[in-house]
Structure formats: C-alpha cells, structure tokens
Amino acid sequence: MAIAARRLAGPLLVLGIGLAALGTAAYLTLIPETRIVSPVAIGGPFRLVAQDEREVTDKDFLGTPHLVFFGFTHC
C-alpha cells in the first residue's frame, strides 16, 4: 500500500499544480476589467522610401485604403 501511495504522489502533485495554475488563469481572465486602457496611436502621417528610392508619403494614398507592413522578405 505504501508503494502505491508513493507512485501516485508525483502525478497527483503535478495535477494539483496544473489545476491551481488553470484556476488562476481562469480567474485573471474572467475578472472585470478595472484599469483604464489608453487608446493606441495607430495611423497618421508617414514618410517612407520605396524600393526605387523615391519618397512615398501618406498623401500618395489619399482616397484609397492602404496597409503598411514592416516585415522581412529575406534573412
């Protein structure tokens, strides 16, 4: 009986820690938001250099939707 109890101690401890972590994550996720979050400053005027080295600004895209992506195309 003592051997079986020792065999179960490790998995039961891991299960208990996992349930505690899950409960904490659920609590932190489900509590009402009490802090004030300021709006993110997205958009606005920009000046970039195109691949042919000409300057491109936000005024070049007036009246058309546009998306600016900053990413890597080659490592």
Which residues, at least 6 apart from 29, have a Cβ–Cβ distance to it below 8 Å? none
pTM for this prediction: 0.40
Q: How many other C-beta atoms can be found within 10 angstroms of the C-beta atom of residue 7?
A: 10
Say how far apart CA 17 and CA 3 lie, in whole Å.
22
Phi and psi at 56, nearest 5°, equal: -120, 130
pLDDT tens readout for residues 22-46? 999 998 888 877 777 778 777 788 8
pLDDT tier, 18 (very low <50, low <70, confident <90, very high otherwise): very high
